[in-house]
Amino acid sequence: MLPKETITSKAAIADISDTDIPEPITVVYRHPDFLVIDKPTGISVHKDHQLSGLPDLVAQQTGDAKLWLVHRLDKITSGLLILACNSDAAAEFSRLFQTHKIEKHYIALSSGKPKKKQGMVAGDMAKTRNGSWKLCRSQTNPAVTRFHSVLCEPGLRLFHLMPKSGKTHQLRVAMKSLGSPILGDQRYGDKTALDRTYLHAYALKFDYRGKKIVITQLPSSGEYFLRPEVQRQLARLTIDCITD
């Protein structure tokens, strides 16, 4: 059995001024070869309208000479993002992601009643004329997402999403296909204007050079994420992820 390291708390970093991000990014876990950050919602991993890409901005804050982006989160998605500290680690993480050796867990909120409360969403994805994506019935190279959900309060359901593939907008499209678009995701069917889109990259599990690593991070922003019953359900989910 591999030695196991579990990280469930935040690790603050120094306040560095003159970056494109108004507040410092939280570093949740630090390893000589990589670090894991809690990406805020509304921040692109690429340059976008920022002067620098996210790896460069984090490197300014941490003092690293260079950081490598090894996977991506949508701009609207908050949560755990791995940045490699050297090219060898970047290559290793690229291999781990390509071979699906990194287990990813997301949480989302929806006000819609799903067609089913748990199970799997699978199908090919095709781009639409407006640049969004849709789920198809074909299964040539399907996007696969396992999920389960729990009702937190009337009109508010928490989803635990476990993607088995890594397609663009996969989780947002899966939620729309269930009839439960993600709260605040106006692009994929939720018409409510809110403080954020309620999708968060919550946990990562992987083996790295002989050590099993489990990292969880609760969302730190969003009025609905911070509601008492949602927090209670998230606490239960944390225990399940750690002990699994």
Task: Give one word for 229, left, alpha or beta, with left for phi > 0 and alpha for psi -120 to 50.
Answer: alpha
**Pick the catalytic residue: 20, 48, 64, 74?**
74
Active site residue 74: yes
Question: The tokens of 155 are what?
Answer: 């009109």
Catalytic residues: 74
